[in-house]
Amino acid sequence: MNGIPILTLLTVLPLAGAAVALFSGKQARGVALLSGLASLAVALFVWTQLPADGSIGLVERAAWVPSLGIEYHVGVDGLGALMLVLSAIVTLMAVDAAHRVHHMPGFFYGLILMLQSGLFGAFTALNFFHWFLFWELSLIPAFFLIKLWGGPRRGPAATQFFVYTMAGSAALLVSFLAIFFSTGSMDFGYLATLAQTGALTPMVESHLGSAMPWLAAGVLAGFAVKVPLMPFHTWLPEAYAEAPSPVTMLLTGAMSKMGLYGLLRIALPIFGVQIAAMRTPLLVLATITVVMGAWAAAAQTDLKRVFAYSSVNHLGYCMLAIFALAVPAAGAAQRASQAAALNGAILQIFNHGITAAALFWFVAMIQFRTNGLRGINDFGGLRKPAPIFAGLMGIALFSSLGLPGLNGFVGEFLIFRGVFPLAWVAASVSILGLLVTAVVLLTVIQKVFAGPTPERWAKFPDLHPSERMALTPVIVLMFLLGLAPQLIVDTINPTVMNLLAHWRF
């Protein structure tokens, strides 16, 4: 590159935006939108600058605290760049959805931008200290966004979210410190190389005895809480429901992806052997997440909780793929399946981020129009007074359902294509999740949009032109990625192959 530290700039840009937004009062939303658009432009630029062979590019390195193995080391490959683009898009969506924040708007948008900075930092970091810094710091704006602008039970919801995640993070930290102690390095790349050559376990054993499985469990615990993996997910429904909907968009669209990214960047490369040894229980948990997440969604009456559990279900597919591909000594056919599963998981991460954020956006719009109502039984026949709204939300719902032609299908298809040969029992049981999700989301359409229109919704306002304009790119993206997923896959696949070549199970 020509020497400009793009990734550092990208990470700092939202902070600058936040600083301005804090003091902008009523103009804060405009500032946030500008900042968001700038971030998106930079992120897309990064996307185009990736090395063709799928390795990590745009690297910036500077010594920080050498005696502690702490280094300022950032870089992205296809996976990281996709996460950056996703974060940028979802933040923009969230800012746009939050157009009626009356209470301390400057602070609200400032916190959102700070959260975005945390996301960018976590997705570009290649050294544990740096990564952990952003991983933890992003919790603070998230907490206050829920606590200060959330619903009636926001206090307990935000606290549980914060403390539970921190508990997982503490386990992760302690385990990683043991790795650092044994190897003297906090660099993800170096540790992955050690693990691939089989040198890591002996190193750890010479210092700590047979601690590797415990360390792997500790690291997994941190991610299991964040993604989440059942049964470590109980903070999620409350947090998603009580957070203001734009914040929920960020939580589901981007923050949950931090956990999955961590699994791919840290857990699988470094603890691949241990994860392969724990594969069966992990697959069981992932399958439970898929199936029970979908079924729990079926029992909810609050739209936000329906989508919250549905998110748990969709993220479960990603974890299914990730754990399924931890097969030791894979043959050629299995390698093809692994590639499919990993491509699918990454695609699903992106597509779910967009679609889930869009769904919560629609819920936000419903809430604005009905003074906060969001029960599934509160509505009916809305497609008569608001056909465009019904149509666009219907598209988002079908995308979430996995209808071919929309973006939600591609990721799920590839995941099943990959997981079936590798773990057919888990895949077969997870199909139930697809079925139940379809029923749940169709029920939402039926209860909210179809049927007779009650008197009080006869005047339900349809989408304003500004809302239509804001939503159009998202809907177009859903179709575009559903019909031409190669737009993403062409860039991701080299990274996938590169990652798989370096992972050892």
Distance from C-alpha of 476 to C-alpha of 217, rounded to nearest angstrom: 41
* Interface with another protein (CB under 8 A), residue from 56, 89, 230, 325: 230
Closest CA to 353 of 208, 253, 473, 241: 253
Cβ(108)–Cβ(24) below 8 Å: no
Min separation Cβ 69 and another protein, Å: 9
Does residue 461 have a cis peptide bond before it, meaning omega lies within 30 degrees of 0? no
Verify binding: residue 62, another protein, rule CB under 8 A.
no
- Separation between Cα atoms, residue 53 and residue 67, nearest integer Å: 33
CB 408 within 8 A of CB 352: yes
Q: Quick check: 68 binds another protein (CB under 8 A)? A: yes
Residue 296 binds to another protein (criterion: CB under 8 A): yes
Of the candidates 273, 488, 468, the residue with the CA atom closest to the CA atom of residue 387:
468
User: In the numeric block, which tokens belong to residue 226?
Assistant: 């964040």
Tokens 């948990």, located at residue: 285
Q: What is the maximum alpha-carbon separation in the chain? A: 74
Q: Give yes or no for residue 231 binding another protein (CB under 8 A).
A: yes
Interface with another protein includes 442 (CB under 8 A)? no
Q: Answer yes or no whether residue 178 interacts with another protein by CB under 8 A.
A: yes
What is the distance of C-alpha 392 from the center of its chain? 23
Touching another protein, residues 298-317 (CB under 8 A): 298-300
* Distance from C-alpha of 195 to C-alpha of 504, rounded to nearest angstrom: 7
The verdict on 425 binding another protein (CB under 8 A) reads no
Residue 498 found at the interface with another protein (CB under 8 A): no
Site for another protein in 146-165 (CB under 8 A): 147-148, 154-155, 159-160, 162-164
Q: Does 181 bind another protein (CB under 8 A)?
A: yes
Closer CB to another protein, 40 or 167, in the complex: 167
Shortest distance, CB of residue 412 to another protein, whole angstroms? 19
Minimum distance from CB of 503 to another protein (Å)? 26
Which H or E element spans position 146?
Answer: helix 139-149
CB 54 to another protein: min, Å? 30
Using the rule CB under 8 A, give the single segment among 25-33, 167-175, 188-196, 278-286 that binds another protein: 167-175
Q: By CB under 8 A, name the one of 1, 41, 62, 65 that touches another protein.
A: 65
Take residue 71 and report the two structure tokens written for it. Answer: 């280094």
| Residue 468 CB-density burial (10 A; 0-12 exposed, 13-18 middle, 19+ buried) | middle
Contacts 24+ apart (CB under 8 A), 369-375: 369/460, 369/461, 370/460, 374/302, 374/303, 374/304, 375/301, 375/302, 375/303
Selected binder of another protein within 21, 22, 81, 173 (CB under 8 A): 173
Shortest Å distance, C-beta 157 to another protein: 11
- At what angle are helices 105-124 and 139-149 packed, to 10 degrees? 150
377 makes contact with another protein (CB under 8 A): no
240 binds another protein (CB under 8 A): no
CB-based contacts of 154, cutoff 8 Å, min separation 6: 146, 147, 242, 243
Q: Which residue reads 């604005």 in tokens? A: 368
Among residues 8, 47, 55, 64, which is the contact residue for another protein, using CB under 8 A?
A: 64
Instruction: Tell me how far, at minimum, the Cβ of 456 lies from another protein, in Å.
Output: 27
Give min distance, CB of 472 to another protein, in A: 29
136 binds another protein (CB under 8 A): yes
Which spans of this chain sit near another protein (rule: CB under 8 A)?
Answer: 64-65, 67-68, 70, 129, 132-133, 136-137, 140, 144, 147-148, 154-155, 159-160, 162-164, 166-167, 170-171, 173-174, 177-178, 180-181, 207-208, 211, 230-231, 233-235, 237, 292, 295-296, 298-300, 436, 439
